[in-house]
Amino acid sequence: MRKLTLQIILSLFVLSIFASLPAQAQKMPKWFKIGVQAYTYRNHIGQNPDKILDLVRDLGIQEMEGGGSKTLSNADFLKKCQDRGIAVVSTGCDYNELKDNPAAVVTRAKELGVKMVMCPWIPHQKGKFNLQDAKNAVDVFNKAGKLLKENGVTLCYHNHGFEFQPYMDGTLMDYLVQKTDPKYVSFEMDIFWTIHGGASPASLLRKYPSRFKMMHLKDIKKGVTGDLTGGSGPENDVVLGTGQADYETIFKLAKKNGIKHYFIEDESDKEMENVPLSIAFLKKIIPTIK
């Protein structure tokens, strides 16, 4: 508990260093709200939800993607966020749950009051995601997405890098986007995993301007060459703006495309230090995006 308190103090101290920036540089436009994926605080939020959510509030984070845990019900998680002025706008779901019990996904979405649900993984043999895996996923997503849509919820698939296996004149990611019904299935782009899989976030945003509704803001360490496994070490997850991602171009396209929800997701082992620095980067770059 004492260690967590010290880490929280460190987070707020790091952010406070940047609080003396000119007011013009810190004023955020209406189109962008700072969000965080709850997984960022995976090592703490289950045991200390109040302290972590206090931190999230104090960092100026306005939106969260997540839900309850083994120690916290969805209703309690929502109440704690609401009490702090944090909007819960999206939550995750398991692929097999979408396939076998999509009604349960609807129930959880309603418990959290969210209008967006994201699936972060398609089961497959590691490093060997293939056309049949993609076809199966298209079927699952279209069927579940229709049920979710009928209940006022949008299903988004969150790419994880392995989908960029070459296929015909493109990739299996192209297949997923082109074969899913846009009425029922949208996408959440993970910047880190897009680059790690060998793709360009900007190119995807240009190619499919209406399909991406949310975004995971992560950066990949310079010099790292990714692969198609969908796996990487925590040391490769770095502060936004210090890695390989061209965030100026990404944000210009995201704004043009009307993406509304952006979640910092830090999978390093230094989230308490990194998140405030990433927020400082956002406060610097977002007001410059035209």
Give the pLDDT confidence of 19-48 residue by residue, as tens digits: 555 444 468 999 999 999 999 999 998 889
Is 79's pLDDT higher than 50? yes
For the chain, the structural domain boundaries read: 33-288
Alpha-carbon distance of 137 to 148, in angstroms, equals: 16
Tell me what pLDDT residue 8 has. Answer: 63
Global pTM reads: 0.93
Beta strands in 120-267 (DSSP E): 154-158, 166-167, 170-171, 185-190, 212-217, 219-220, 237-238, 261-264
Distance of CA 28 to the CA centre of its chain: 20
Min mean pLDDT across 5-9, 75-79, 224-228 is at: 5-9
Question: Tokens 């989908």 — which residue?
Answer: 163
- Class of the 33-288 domain? alpha beta
Is 82's pLDDT higher than 60? yes
DSSP state of 27: P
Is 18's pLDDT higher than 70? no
Alpha-carbon distance of 55 to 70, in angstroms, equals: 21
Beta strands in the chain (DSSP E): 34-37, 63-65, 87-92, 116-119, 154-158, 166-167, 170-171, 185-190, 212-217, 219-220, 237-238, 261-264
